[in-house]
Amino acid sequence: MQNMNKVADAPLLRNAPVPKVTGKRADTVDAGILQEGRYVVTPKIAQQIIDRFNYETQRPISRHHVERLAQQMAEDVWTPGSQIAFGVLPDKRAFLVNGQHRMAAVVAAGRDVEFQILLLPAADEAELHALYYRFDAVQRTRSTENVLQSVGIADQLGIPKRLATGVYSAGVLIALGFRYVPPVKRPASYSTPDGKLRLAEPWWEYAKVYGDIIAEARRPNIARKLMSAGCCAVAMVTLKHQAEKARQFWSEVARNDGLRVGNPAKALAETLIERSFRGEEGAHMTAASLAWNAYFRGDKRTALRVASISQIRVLGTPYAKG
């Protein structure tokens, strides 16, 4: 096995230009970042990478996770050569998008550790975001919260993060045509962050409208359940295809104020209050569709019988046929 270059404990600059590769010399740290290749990273350099090059919207470091990795390094059972990656913008600013826990573990263990350094070009900050959430770390995966935080969609639209999460998952339900399909049988792209973001993309404009409606809710538990993926899925398609009637319906559900018995909006609000729906696949989506369909037809509904439905209909939309 060839000898790996050891990174000198020279100070790293803060996002200086990436140097031209001149072999596998490690003295280029003075220019601001490591070159691509296999290197032994010292604790001092690892700390500087965290302080000066970490991607700013990374998830918080988990102390427990760092301790586990550091223990492996300290006991010499860590497998050398794992990859850490930096996204590099056109202006040569570089950001660590994969490997912050391993860098923190090097510091905690006080050991020199060998890594494979990868530099990935990013055309702009949006592509930098994508580089971050596409990485599946060896020990941990990006959660929905991590993905949406990196994209910043909730802040851009001024909607609750819970609602952004609901719409992110609702895109898949809508794409499946409101049919229940086990996750293992869904198209592979429906399970990746990029795939889910693409499916959610057409619905963000309606999420903003829905967020304003939910803000009218008088009870927090109704607001929370209206932000579930199932309710969001029905809300998105009705707000798109039946804008005026849908705004009225969802506002009545959210406020649940002085509604007459038999109003489907009241039936849905009370169902959301009374039932947890934990462990019931598609229950929120089923309840929301039953109430909406009755409201759309002008029927009275005092209660909603929520059972397992393989194909859900949403009247007044392209999903009206079961």
Residues in the chain: 322
Residue 118 and residue 64 share a domain: yes
Residue 203 and residue 173 share a domain: yes
Evaluate whether residue 310 is within a structural domain.
no
pLDDT above 60 (res 22): no
Mean pLDDT across 25-37: 48
Q: How confident is the model at residue 316 (pLDDT cuts 50, 70, 90)?
A: very high
Evaluate whether residue 304 is within a structural domain.
no
Residue 37 has φ and ψ, to the nearest 5°, of 135, -175
Rounded CA-CA distance 152/185 in Å is 30
Instruction: Find the domain containing 269 and state its range.
Output: 150-297
Copy the structure tokens of residue 65.
């996770």
pLDDT above 80 (res 322): no
Residue 154 and residue 134 share a domain: no
Least confident of 34-38, 157-161, 277-281: 277-281
Evaluate whether residue 308 is within a structural domain.
no
pLDDT above 80 (res 151): no
Residue 160 and residue 79 share a domain: no
pLDDT at 4: 45
Evaluate whether residue 302 is within a structural domain.
no
DSSP state of 316: T
Evaluate whether residue 314 is within a structural domain.
no
Residue 154 and residue 292 share a domain: yes
Of 199, 146, 208, nearest in space to 173 by CA: 199
Residue 288 and residue 218 share a domain: yes
Copy the structure tokens of residue 156.
């851009």
Evaluate whether residue 307 is within a structural domain.
no
* The total number of structural domains that make up the chain: 2
Mean pLDDT across 114-139: 78
Rounded CA-CA distance 93/95 in Å is 7
The secondary element (H helix, E strand) that includes residue 284 is helix 283-297
Residue 292 and residue 155 share a domain: yes
Predicted TM-score (pTM) of the model is 0.64
Rounded CA-CA distance 289/283 in Å is 10
